[in-house]
Amino acid sequence: MKLLGDWLRSNSRKSGSRIILAADVGGPLESRLDAATSLVSAVRERIVAVKVNWHLLLPYGVLGLRKLIERCNDAGLPLIADMKLNDIGATNVEAAETLFSNGFDALIANPFVGYKEGIEDLLAKSRVMHKGVILLVYMSHAGAREGYGLKVGGEPLYLGFARKTRSWGADGAVVSSKSLAIIREVRSVLRKEQLILSPGVGFQGGDARNAIAAGSDYLIVGRSVVESKDPLKAVEALNRELGNSGPSPAVRERRSSL
Ligand code: 3DU
C-alpha cells in the first residue's frame, strides 16, 4: 500500500527522473499493445510512472491491457488511467473499481462534475482502495482558456478547481507545462504534499525546466518519447535537461500523510 506521491518520489530518487511516460502509441490497433509494452521495458528504469489514454484503453480495455499492466506493476511503476473521468458518482466508482482492481494505481478526473454525487464518491472509493485521483485543473491545449480559464464570480475556473483539489483532498492536479504563471498560482493553493503533473512538454511547446522551476513535480511526456527513434535516449535527454542525470533529484520533501 503506497500513497501515489510517496511512490513517485521514491521512483524519482531511484531513476533520477521526473518523467511520467504517456504511452500514447499510435499505428495499427493490433500492434499497439506490444509496442507500448516494449516501450515501457525500454525506458522503465529512467521514468517514474506510466500513463495510458484512449490510444490503448479504447482498443484493448482493461482486460486486454493485462500484459502492459503487469509490465508496469513488475517494474514498480504506478499506472495512471487518463480518462478525464467526468460522470455521476456511481459511474465514476464503477470505472475506478474496474481500473483499481486490475492493476491501475491512479486515474485522472474532471472536477467540473462537482463534489456531491460526483467526485466525492470517486475519492471515497479511491481512498478505500488506497489509489490515487488527480484532478484536471488547467489543460495544455490552446482552447483551455475557453473552459478552465473562464472567469466565474470574478476569478478563473482553474483557481476554483485548485482550491477544490486542496479541500477535497485529491492526490494532485494536472496543470499545463506551458502556463507557468498558472503553475505558480496553483502551487500556492495546493498543500505541499499534493502533486502537480504537467503535460505539454515538447510536442505542445512546453519547456521541461521552466515547468519544474515554476512548481510542477512531474512532467507527462508522450510524443517526444513515443515517436522518437530511440525512446530511452529521448527520456535520458529530458532527465539530463532537468539536471537529474543520476539519482536523488531535488524533489521537494513532502509530508507522507495525505
Ligand atoms: O503532447 P504529448 O504527446 O506529450 O502527450 C501528452 C499526453 O497528456 C496525452 O496523453 C494527452 O492526452 C495528455 N494530456 C494533455 O496533453 C493535456 C492535458 O491537460 C491533460 C492530458
Per-position DSSP letters for 182-209, written without gaps between them: HHHHHHHHS-TTSEEEEE-BSTTSB-HH
Give the pLDDT band of residue 243 (cuts 50, 70, 90).
Answer: confident
Q: Is the CB of 172 under 6 A from ligand 1?
A: no
Calpha distance 59→4 (Å, rounded)? 27
Arithmetic mean of pLDDT, 94-99: 98
- 239: part of which helix (H) or strand (E)? helix 231-241
Please check the confidence at residue 225 and state whether its pLDDT lies above 90: yes
Read off the pLDDT of residues 47-76 as tens digits, 9 standing for 90 and up: 999 999 999 999 999 999 999 999 999 999
Calpha distance 77→97 (Å, rounded)? 19
Q: pTM for the whole thing?
A: 0.94
DSSP state of 217: S
pLDDT reported for residue 245:
46
% residues pLDDT > 70 (the chain): 94
Which atom of ligand 1 is nearest to 201's Cα? 4
User: Which grid coordinates are listed for 94?
Assistant: 464503477
Active site residues: 84
User: Which grid coordinates are listed for 145?
Assistant: 482558456
Please check the confidence at residue 13 and state whether its pLDDT lies above 50: yes
Please check the confidence at residue 216 and state whether its pLDDT lies above 60: yes
User: How confident is the prediction for the chain on average, in pLDDT?
Assistant: 94
How wide is the angle at C-alpha 135 spanned by C-alphas 1 and 219, nearest 5°? 80
Q: Is the CB of 140 under 6 A from ligand 1?
A: yes
pLDDT reported for residue 255:
36
pLDDT reported for residue 244:
58
Which atom of ligand 1 is nearest to 53's Cα? 10
Query: Quick one: which of 143, 16, 11, 119 has its CA closest to 107?
Result: 119
Q: Is the CB of 15 under 6 A from ligand 1?
A: no
Name the percent of the chain in helix, strand, coil, to the closest 5.
50, 15, 35
17 burial level (CB within 10 Å; 0-12, 13-18, 19+): buried
Give the pLDDT band of residue 253 (cuts 50, 70, 90).
Answer: very low
Calpha distance 99→110 (Å, rounded)? 17
Residue 136, helix vs strand vs coil: strand
